[in-house]
């Protein structure tokens, strides 16, 4: 058992999704332990958007509930986990996790592969990461087409990733596409973990601005992102967030229960 990490990682029931109440240092330790043990796991960094997608899509709910880790990518999930008796739960934000693991890899030699994003974004991200973390080994990267891949193309991607011998594969296809891709490829790809990190590629590449830290820590990052991308994100944040608040209140007050599926 790793310091500060229970032998069996618990889950907190948030609208029927089992969120693992971990923090960033614990997550890094878990990932490195998986690599040392030769495990084949996956991690989904999820927020209110992911919880709400799981309400309408059983495939997403199953993906979140069967992961090695489903981390608290947003502050509302952190606060919920803390309220449920996990005071050390912290935000495990996809962009922060990516940077922290790359910083560690510059010392450990672990190899990272990046799958997703546009060619411009993924190339810019890789250049910035290598410049920021001297000694970082990039096993490879791939910007797949937006359309569904043919079985032959998918098999070629799997082979290319495995030939690169990565320890960790970062997936930036956007939620829910990346979650489904990860579930369909875990076990086929020979890496300690496949990690779904959403918009982390855009942020690491400098292609999109990030919210100030005070907004991130106060749970207002959604407002910053809504202001920067109103057309794309209006439904996600104005509709999903409102429904989440109502359902969260119902569950926390004991008026509505959600079955465990893990």
pLDDT at 2: 42
* pLDDT averages per 10-residue partition of the chain, 262 residues: 60 98 98 98 98 97 98 98 97 98 98 98 98 98 95 98 99 96 97 96 97 96 96 95 97 96 89
Which candidate, 118, 166, 122, 127, places its Cα nearest to that of 145?
Answer: 118
Count Cα neighbours of 227 within 13 Å in the Cβ-side half-sphere: 8
Give the pLDDT confidence score for residue 7 in this predicted structure. 57
> Global pTM?
0.94
Cα 133 to its chain centre, rounded Å, is: 21
Residue 151, token pair as written in the block? 């079985």
Give the integer Cα–Cα distance in Å for 208 and 205. Answer: 8
HSE-up (13 A, CA, CB side) for residue 140: 14
């Amino acid at each position: 058992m790793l310091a500060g990490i229970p032998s069996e990682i618990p889950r907190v029931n948030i609208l029927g999704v089992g969120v693992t109440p971990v923090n960033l240092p614990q997550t890094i330790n878990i990932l490195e332990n998986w690599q040392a043990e030769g495990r084949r796991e996956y991690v989904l960094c999820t927020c209110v958007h992911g919880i709400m997608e799981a309400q309408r899509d059983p495939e997403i709910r199953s993906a979140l509930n069967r992961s090695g880790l489903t981390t608290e990518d947003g502050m509302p999930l952190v606060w919920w986990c803390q309220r449920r008796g996990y005071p050390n739960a912290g935000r495990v934000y996809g962009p922060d996790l990516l940077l922290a693991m790359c910083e560690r890899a510059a010392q450990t030699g672990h190899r990272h592969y990046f799958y997703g994003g546009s060619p411009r974004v993924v190339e810019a991200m890789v250049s910035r990461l290598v410049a920021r973390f001297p000694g970082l080994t990039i096993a490879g990267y791939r910007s797949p087409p937006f359309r569904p891949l043919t079985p032959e193309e998918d098999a070629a991607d799997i082979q290319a990733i495995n030939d690169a011998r990565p320890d960790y594969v970062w997936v930036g296809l956007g939620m829910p596409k990346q979650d489904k891709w990860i579930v369909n490829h875990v076990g086929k790809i020979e890496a300690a973990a496949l990690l779904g990190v959403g918009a982390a590629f855009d942020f690491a590449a400098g292609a999109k601005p990030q919210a100030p830290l005070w907004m991130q820590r106060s749970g207002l990052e959604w407002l910053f992102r809504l202001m920067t991308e109103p057309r794309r994100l209006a439904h996600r944040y104005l509709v999903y967030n409102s429904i989440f608040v109502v359902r969260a209140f119902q569950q926390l007050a004991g008026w509505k229960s959600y079955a465990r599926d893990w």
